[in-house]
Amino acid sequence: MTKKKDTANPSPRKDRPALIDETKTKPKKKFGTIFPIVGIGASAGGLAAFESFFSGMPADVDPGMSFVLVQHLAPDHKSLLTEIISRSTRMKVFEVEDGMEVLPNCAYIIPPNRDMTFLDGRLQLIEPVAPRGHRLPIDSFFKSLAQSLHESAIGIVLSGTGSDGTLGVRSIKEEGGMVIAQSPSSSEYNGMPLSAIATGLVDYELSPSEMPAHIIAYVSHVFSSPLQKPATPKHIAENSLQKICALLRAQTGHDFSMYKPSTIHRRIERRMAIHQIAMVDAYIQYLEQAPAEVEALFRDLLIGVTNFFRDPEVFNTFEKEVVPKLFAGKSEGSPIRIWSTGCSTGEEAYSIAILLQEYLEKTKQHFMVQIFATDINSKAIATARSGRYPASIVDDVTPERISRFFAIEDEGSVYRIRKKIRNMLIFSEQDMIKDPPFSKLDCIACRNLLIYIGGALQKKLIPLFHYALRPGGVLFLGTSETVGDFGDLFTAIDRNSKLYLRKENLNSRLPSTIDRFLPPLLQVESSPHRHVSVKRINPVQQPLRELTEQTLLKQFVTAGVLVNAHGDILYLHGRTGQYLEPAQGVSGINNIIKMAREGLHRELSTALHKAQSSSEIVRSLALRVKTNGHFTSVDLTICPVTANHAEFADQLYLVILKPTSQFECELMQKNGPLGVDEVVGGSGKEENMDVATLRQELLAKDEYLKSTIEELETSNEELKSSNEEMQSINEELQSSNEELETSKEELQSVNEELTTVNTELQNKLIDLSQANNDMSNLLSGTGIATIFVDNRLCIMRFTPAATRIINLIPVDIGRPVGHIVSKMVGYDSLIIDVQSVLETLLPKELEVQTTEGKWYTMRIQPYRTIENVIEGVVITFVDITEMKKSRELLQDAYDQLRLAGIARDSQDAITVLNTDGDILAWNPSAQRIFGWTEKEALTMNIQDMLPKDIQAQELEKIRLVAAGDIPVPYETSRKNKEGQTLPVWLTASFLADDAGHVYAMAVTQRTTMRKDNT
């Protein structure tokens, strides 16, 4: 069950549950006229969202509410937000000044480098204390708005990064307000909206332009008029409420019929306002048609508003007064068992775990701490299990605890509980109203939960907690809760902090609330005196002795009183009003001596004293007791009572008061009964033979009667002995039955705990299986061959790609890696390299080739666990075959590029001719010497450069030079572009492909030193 805090007006005193501490009820603060105030928070991307929001406001109607804008602003730059918003709305827009009064139909904007709160209708500016980047101005303002306006508060979270506003959303929902978040799809930065939505408390997810219409509709439904306080919740008929509870029970399995009606009424009214439904019957019809709304109402009833170390002073007291007691008297290593009921999202349970861990570290002791944290809200339990909380928890947790017990994730926007704290807790869904409780607990934390449930259920839960706690266990309640009328079960450790110590319940062996977890064969029924319990056993199994005794008690009613050595009354039987009357003065413990009527007081006191000193039965006969103006004769008997039970350490006495019979009264008046001798002797000498005969017969019958009485007494003794044996057997059977009952209850509690642990382990197995599947798919998807080897050089795991390099099959897992034949060529030092990495912890990388001709980069690095323990190595093979080929191609291209550079930079004219003499290549020196550009030359034939006298045979001579048939250099001549003839020295060589076929000739031409003067 999720704990919440309700701040509605308290109901009249006579209707309040007995377990609510009225001294903690705080009246709501009022300031002038109440009207809705909308707090809007934004960060990055907020300007566009603000403009879109105000553009959606009606252009011709005042909204009748105020808007306060809180944005993360640069502290050293003047804000232009006021001017920008003024262009988008007809309302007056102000930059807030300290103490400015909030008026309807106005917009207020926070100034730079200031935090802001709302108090008594005014906006208060505060100089920030937290360093830049750690400030949470939206949370701060939303909290103050909720505390001041309660259900009139409306909060909106717009675009922004981080989680500012999340705790403020919880505060507004705690007070019954309304919350809207910008839809992530419409947000420029969705960090803040997503964080608010993740709480499960957001009423609407809308784009900024859609928000004004929903706010106006909501306000018009909740408020009778815009400038009045919220309308008083309508009274929901009992029949309608039962229908709604039935729908909730049918879909969720949880019964809300025993909750306080005022709590349910407020939540139903709020849901009706959100959906614009005016009539309860129409809302019931909507619930029947929309299962999602039933779930939403269920979540609304379970608003888990909590935080770390809520009520810091209370937790300080818990740390100082309770935590040491939990470990006191226990041997090291023994379990510490705690139950956190209604744990919601887990902050309170984790807070207790942190306090226990700090104590263990301080005392350097080791105990097995088990904290069972339960709730009926599955989403809240999922959040608690994840242990991830927004960065705004820094307001509630000290920096020292943040660094020790939390890990920062997602660039500082999320804090995760560390493993050593998480392992202390077991989270489970459990309804403590219907599910068996845990047992033998050292502490139960049930804070801010009892205030939401009815008085009848509250009075069942407190004895249930008493049963679940071990002797000396601690009950930890909320600041507005008490143990009520159960002061005989708990004694206060600290009343202000609501810490209670379990007391031994001397007068009750089994709490009446436990009967709902037991089969109907055995029930527990409370007598008119609550502290005395009587067991009702099936009539078929009822012993004959007990049946006889009950019948006799009904026929012969004798007044009896069970008292202790001081005369304090523990139990009354029969009608004692004739002999006892209440004493004057303050009513407290009733004492039989003080209550004795006139004529009984002295004898009763004396007889009780004699019984205490002698430990024997004491009788006083024919006492004259004054009753209603006349005297009644009564016989007083006091019998010592032996209670074979450890709970009754004091000696007990049974006081029996029986009216004296008429015959005994007459005998007492004559100083005792008359004997036969006295009757006969009284006849004197006038007795005759008949009288003597009668006397003889009387004496004979007297002897016979005495003999019969002796025989009867002997038989009675035998029967008594048999009866005692039967009684002893019956008591043993009863004791065995009680032990079996206790064992059954313990087994049920243990079974519940095992179920809880099993659920936790199943969740962990699911997570582990998912992680394993993800890892397997990741390793297979990358295509990287990977082999995991332990410290003994045995194979732990490998990916399918590894079989292409080393001959591995599934049965090779567990075998030494050195026993496996690899396909690597020229590399046989794998074992040496693995051992070297294990010794030095330095990664090693080298290139290897397989028999298939493929190349791989092999990397060997240590296998590290999360705890930074080396448990082997990881060998990976990355295919670099294509990279190798690309490298070779690159080398060839480089070589060709180098040759091209030589040809380009040469001072000789270098040309390439095909077999027909067409020019295929032309270097810059050729252009310099002959004048034609490369573009022009590539369209020419060698014949175009030859003087006419050598054109016919020059191409053939070039072929001969290339073939080596003419010595080189060969002197010849060429024409340039201007038509001049130039003498040149020529060398040539054939160019052939890989097959040896000549496809061209490379010709090098150098001009001679002589001048041509023609």
- 609-624 residue pLDDT tens: 888 878 888 888 878 8
| Phi–psi pair at 734, nearest 5 degrees | -60, -40
- Determine the pLDDT at residue 727: 78
Mean pLDDT value across residues 900-920: 84
Distance between CA atoms of 601 and 758, rounded to whole angstroms?
65
Structure tokens at 121: 């209708």
Please determine, for residue 987, whether its predicted confidence score (pLDDT) is greater than 60. yes
CATH number of 555-659: 3.30.450.20
* % pLDDT > 70, the chain: 82
Contact yes or no for 299/377 (Cβ under 8 A) = yes
Give the SS3 label for residue 931: coil
Average pLDDT over residues 62-88: 81
- Where helices occur in 627-785 by DSSP H, the ranges are 662-669, 676-681, 689-782
| For range 368-379, the mean pLDDT | 88
889 compared with 523, residue with greater pLDDT = 889
Handedness of CA 301, 305, 311, 314 (dihedral sign): positive
CA of residue 870 relative to chain centroid, distance: 33
Half-sphere exposure of 486 (CA within 13 A, CB side): 28
* C-beta neighbour count of 829 within 10 angstroms: 10
pLDDT band at 892 (very low <50, low <70, confident <90, very high): confident
Strand pairing class (523-526; 533-536): antiparallel
Examine domains 555-659 and 780-885 and report if their fold is the same.
yes
791-808 average pLDDT score:
88
> Mean of the pLDDT values across residues 354-367?
90
E strand or H helix that includes residue 928: helix 924-930
pLDDT at 9: 38
The answer to whether 869 touches 790, Cβ cutoff 8 Å, is no
CA angle 693/694/695 to nearest 5° reads 90
Global pTM reads 0.51
Average of per-residue pLDDT across 332-342: 89
Mean pLDDT of the chain: 79
State how far the Cα of 713 lies from the Cα of 719, in Å rounded to an integer: 10
SS3 assignment, position 272: helix
Q: How confident is the model at residue 696 (pLDDT cuts 50, 70, 90)?
A: low
Phi, psi of 543 (to 5 degrees): -65, 150
Q: Give the integer Cα–Cα distance in Å for 703 and 911.
A: 167
Active-site residue, 743 included: no
CA–CA distance, 64 with 228 (Å, rounded to integer): 10
Residue 554 confidence (pLDDT): 65
Distances (CA, A) of 56 to 60, 63, 93, 107, 344: 12, 12, 16, 15, 37
Q: Write out the two tokens for 346.
A: 């887990």
Locate 690 and state its tokens: 């008949």
pLDDT of residue 389: 87
**What average pLDDT does this structure show over 239-243?**
78
pLDDT beyond 60 at 646:
no
Task: Please check whether residue 876 is in contact with residue 795, taking contact to mean a CB–CB distance below 8 angstroms.
Answer: no
Helix (H, G, I), strand (E, B) or coil at 541: helix
Give the count of beta carbons closer than 10 Å to the beta carbon of residue 442.
Answer: 22
Sign of CA dihedral 737, 739, 740, 746: positive
**In terms of pLDDT, which residue wins out, 226 or 434?**
434
CATH of the domain spanning 906-1007, picked from 3.40.50.620, 3.30.450.20, 3.20.20.70, 3.40.50.2300: 3.30.450.20
Q: What is the mean pLDDT of residues 431-453?
A: 85
Q: Give the per-residue pLDDT at 681.
A: 44
C-alpha separations of 127 from 117, 124, 143, 165, 393 in Å: 11, 10, 17, 19, 21
Decide if pLDDT at 569 tops 70: yes
**Low-confidence winner among 228-232, 868-872, 970-974 (lowest mean pLDDT):** 228-232
Q: Are the beta carbons of 315 and 354 closer than 8 angstroms? A: no
For residue 43, indicate whether it is catalytic: yes
Q: How many CB atoms lie within 10 A of CB 983?
A: 15
Of 436, 341, 435, 338, residue with least CA distance to 380: 341
Q: What are the φ and ψ backbone dihedral angles of 912, each rounded to 5 degrees?
A: -125, 125
The whole-number average pLDDT for the span 532-556 is 57
Q: Would you state the pLDDT for residue 520?
A: 37
Reported confidence tier of residue 32, pLDDT bands at 50, 70, 90: very low
Q: Reply yes or no on whether the pLDDT at 176 is more than 80.
A: no
Phi/psi at 948 (5° precision): -65, -30
Q: What's the rounded Cα separation, in Å, for the pair 297 and 290?
A: 11
For 931, other C-beta atoms within 10 Å of its C-beta total 15
Q: How confident is the model at residue 685 (pLDDT cuts 50, 70, 90)?
A: very low
Task: Give the three-class secondary structure for 861.
Answer: strand
How many Å apart are CA 766 and CA 809, to the nearest integer?
Answer: 28
What local confidence, expressed as pLDDT, does residue 91 receive? 87
- Sorted by where each begins, the domain ranges of the chain are 37-223, 238-301, 312-502, 555-659, 780-885, 906-1007
CATH code at 312-502: 3.40.50.150
Confidence class of residue 910 from pLDDT cuts 50, 70 and 90? confident
Q: Mean pLDDT over residues 491-504, rounded?
A: 87
DSSP state of 880: -
Which region among 640-654, 806-820, 973-987 has the lowest average model confidence (pLDDT)?
A: 640-654
List beta partners, residue 632.
625
pLDDT of residue 632: 82
Is residue 34 very low, low, confident or very high in pLDDT (cuts 50, 70, 90)?
low
Count CA atoms within 13 Å of residue 690 on its CB side: 1
- Structure tokens that stand for 363 in this block: 């005392």
Query: What average pLDDT does range 217-241 have in this prediction?
Result: 62
What is the C-alpha separation between 10 and 370, in angstroms, rounded?
A: 37
Element housing 899 (H / E): helix 881-905
Residue 20 has pLDDT above 60, yes or no: no
Percent of the chain having pLDDT more than 90?
Answer: 9
User: What does the pLDDT read at residue 649?
Assistant: 58
Q: Is 609 a catalytic residue?
A: no
* Token digits of residue 894: 């480089």
Q: What integer is the mean pLDDT of 242-269?
A: 79
- Angstrom distances, CA of residue 323 to CA of 328, 329, 354, 356: 9, 13, 11, 7
Q: From the candidates 6, 72, 140, 351, which is the catalytic residue?
A: 72
Catalytic residue, candidates 6, 43, 340, 344: 43
728's tokens: 């002893």
Split at pLDDT 50, 70, 90, the class of 352 is very high
User: What's the first-to-final CA gap in the chain, in angstroms?
Assistant: 117
37-223: what CATH class? Answer: alpha beta
The residue annotated as part of the active site, out of 6, 21, 115, 164, is: 164
Q: Which is the CATH superfamily of the domain at 780-885?
A: PAS domain (3.30.450.20)
- Beta carbons within 8 Å of 738's beta carbon, 6+ residues apart: 509
pLDDT-derived band at 538 (thresholds 50, 70, 90) equals very low
Is the per-residue pLDDT at 24 higher than 60?
Answer: no
CA of residue 129 relative to chain centroid, distance: 31
